Structure formats: C-alpha cells, structure tokens
C-alpha cells in the first residue's frame, strides 16, 4: 500500500518511512497539484504530525486514503470530522510523551516564577556587578488550576503535589475518582488560583477557551503556563495583559502562529518562551517514532490502528 509523508517529520522517522515503506513525500508549492493528480489515487496511509496534519482539501485528493497516522498526541490540524465521515482512521501517540510534557510544564512554572531565565541573561550581560537580581516568587505551596485533566494534566498535578501545591481543575466533565477539586466555571477557578496551567487538547472545541475574561480573573499576581496549543489561549489578550501588568508572568511552549512569536513578548523578562519542545527529549521522541510506526504497521497489516483518536 502506498504511504504518503505529509509535512516535515523527525529525520529518523522520515528515513524509515522511505526505506521501509518507500513512502512518497507530499511536495509543497506548485508541484503539489501535479503530484496529487498523478499519485493521489494510490495513497492508502498518510503519516503526519501536529504541525501539519491532513485537512479536508487534501483528503479530497486522496480517494483511497484509509488512515492518517499522527506523530504526536495533538491532532487538531487534521480534520477528524471529515475523516470520520469518510471512514478514515486517525491515530496519535498518547502516553509516551506524557511525562516529558508534564516535566516541561513544571519547569516553565518554576522558571517564570523564580526568574531563572531572566537571571541567566542578567549574569551573561555582566549586570551582577551592578547590583543584585530582583527578588522573585516562590513556586512551591501555590494554588494551581489545571485546564484539562487528561493524561498530561494529571501528570502535572501529580508532580505539583510534591511541591505542596493545592490543585483544582477545569474539564469538559468532572473526572470520576479524581482527588482534585473540580471547578466547572473556568473564570471562577482562575480567580482562585496563583497559577493557571493549560493542558487542554487543541481544536475547534477549545479555541479561545482561556480568553480575556479568564486571564483578567487570574490577575496581576497570577501566572499562566501553556504546554497545550496556542489556539487555546487568546494570544492578543495575553500579550496585552503581560505588557501592561495585568499578569505577573507566563511560561509558554506553544503559540498561535508557530514558529512566529508575538514581538511584544521578546523583550519581557516575566515571560519564558520555548520553541514547542515539550516532548523534545531523545527518549520521548524515540518512543513516539516507535509508536507511530506501530500504528502504521497495524493499519497496513490488519486495517486497524493501535491508538485511534475517535
């Protein structure tokens, strides 16, 4: 069966796809239309990532497509509604990146509250001799609200309990058996916590979920950490509040228009900016690659995937 690579993938995964499956790579620009006209009818499986996905217009050019195999846990760039209507399977790589992303969230929280990245710049600029670095805020013992208590949100909560933090969460539905406090009103939860950690899935259902009202409720002493998707947060409102003192700080691994970061954030010392590297460890990416290939093998062998997303 013909395999198509959609978008850039980790080099070792791309190499395996070409060597093991003789995968074709979807070209960009003017060559794309001619390629799809010639090869689109043969494609049975597409391998992609959260940074690219397979949208409805591309699916329309792949009449025999049976599976979209996603490298990563997020699949909001793939039109899953269209896939479901056409009977196209969609898989992702859950669990294997949970710990790494949760570590990133906790690291961002500690960094932005203690000012470690800003202090590093302070030392490198030779400013220590001019005086002491300003006092920062303690990260342990804080009231933390988590938006999205799925696998990653739960792992973040578990870690922060060890720091003596009090955990509450907002979710589409209350999580059965959870020992954390459920808050159905996100604005009220934001008003009650010191730190708001965004761990919700991306997509149309959560776009702008953390909006201006939520961020304003978090307030000038509050911190935001986002390791989910940039689309979940109203980025314009976030930038304005950070710039004008409406928030104490933010730790951000994701942005609305990656790889573009709002220029206003670049000069702020109360913001820690990461290049969407939450799962970016050698160990985690190797596990993600292995699970991606296992999902592809399962489809090519039996017509099923190991990790369906619906």
Parse the chain into domains and list their residue ranges.
Answer: 2-94+282-302, 98-273
The pLDDT, as a whole number, for residue 22 is: 97
Q: Shortest CA distance to 245 belongs to which of 221, 263, 212?
A: 221
pTM: 0.93
Q: Shortest CA distance to 301 belongs to which of 73, 67, 40?
A: 67
Active site residue 289: no
Q: Shortest CA distance to 28 belongs to which of 59, 43, 54, 6?
A: 6
**Options 28, 258, 283, 290, the catalytic residue:** 258
- Mark residue 288 as left, alpha or beta (left: phi above 0; alpha: psi -120 to 50; beta: remaining): alpha
The two structure tokens encoding residue 256: 């609305």
Dist. CA 118–CA 35, nearest whole Å: 48
**Options 142, 170, 183, 229, the catalytic residue:** 229
Active site residue 229: yes
Q: Give the residue carrying structure tokens 């959260």.
A: 50
Active site residue 276: yes
The pLDDT, as a whole number, for residue 1 is: 80
**Options 137, 143, 243, 276, the catalytic residue:** 276
The pLDDT, as a whole number, for residue 159 is: 98
Dist. CA 230–CA 57, nearest whole Å: 23
Q: Which CATH number fits domain 98-273: 3.10.20.30, 3.40.50.720, 3.30.420.10, 1.10.3720.10?
A: 3.40.50.720
> CATH topology of 2-94+282-302 equal to that of 98-273?
yes
Note down pLDDT in tens along the chain; length 310 residues. 899 999 999 999 999 999 999 999 999 999 999 999 999 999 999 999 998 999 999 999 999 999 999 999 999 999 999 999 999 999 999 999 999 999 999 999 999 999 999 999 999 999 999 999 999 999 999 999 999 999 999 999 999 999 999 999 999 999 999 999 999 999 999 999 999 999 999 999 999 999 999 999 999 999 999 999 999 999 999 999 999 999 999 999 999 999 999 999 999 999 999 999 999 999 999 999 999 999 999 999 999 999 999 8
The pLDDT, as a whole number, for residue 268 is: 96
| Count of other CB atoms within 10 angstroms of residue 68 | 30
Q: Give me the architecture of the 2-94+282-302 domain, per CATH.
A: 3-Layer(aba) Sandwich (3.40)
């Amino acid at each position: 069966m013909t395999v198509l690579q959609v978008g850039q993938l980790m080099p070792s995964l791309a190499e395996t796809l070409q060597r093991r499956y003789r995968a074709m790579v979807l070209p960009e620009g003017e060559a794309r239309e001619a390629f799809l006209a010639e090869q689109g009818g043969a494609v049975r499986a597409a391998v992609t990532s959260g940074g690219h996905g397979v949208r409805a217009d591309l699916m329309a050019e792949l009449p025999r497509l049976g599976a979209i195999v996603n490298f990563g846990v997020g699949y909001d760039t793939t039109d899953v509604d269209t896939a479901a209507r056409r009977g196209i399977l969609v898989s992702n790589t859950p669990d294997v990146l949970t710990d790494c992303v949760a570590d990133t969230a906790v690291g961002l929280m500690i960094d932005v509250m203690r000012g470690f990245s800003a202090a590093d710049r302070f030392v490198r600029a030779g400013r220590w001799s001019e005086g002491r670095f300003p006092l920062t805020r303690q990260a342990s013992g804080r009231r933390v609200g988590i938006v999205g208590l799925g696998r990653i949100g739960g792992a973040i909560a578990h870690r922060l309990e060890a720091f003596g933090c009090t955990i509450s969460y907002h979710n589409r539905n209350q999580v059965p058996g959870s020992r954390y406090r459920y808050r159905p009103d996100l604005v009220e939860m934001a008003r009650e916590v010191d730190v708001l950690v965004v761990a919700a899935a991306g997509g149309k259902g959560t776009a702008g979920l953390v909006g201006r009202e939520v961020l304003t409720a978090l307030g000038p002493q509050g911190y935001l950490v986002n390791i989910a998707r940039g689309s979940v947060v109203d980025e314009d409102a976030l930038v304005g509040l950070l710039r004008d003192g409406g928030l104490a700080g933010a730790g951000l691994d994701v942005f609305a228009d990656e790889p573009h970061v709002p220029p206003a954030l670049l000069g702020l010392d109360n913001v820690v900016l990461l290049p969407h590297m939450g799962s970016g460890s050698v160990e985690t990416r190797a596990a993600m690659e292995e699970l991606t290939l296992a999902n592809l093998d399962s489809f090519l062998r039996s017509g099923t995937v190991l990790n369906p997303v619906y």
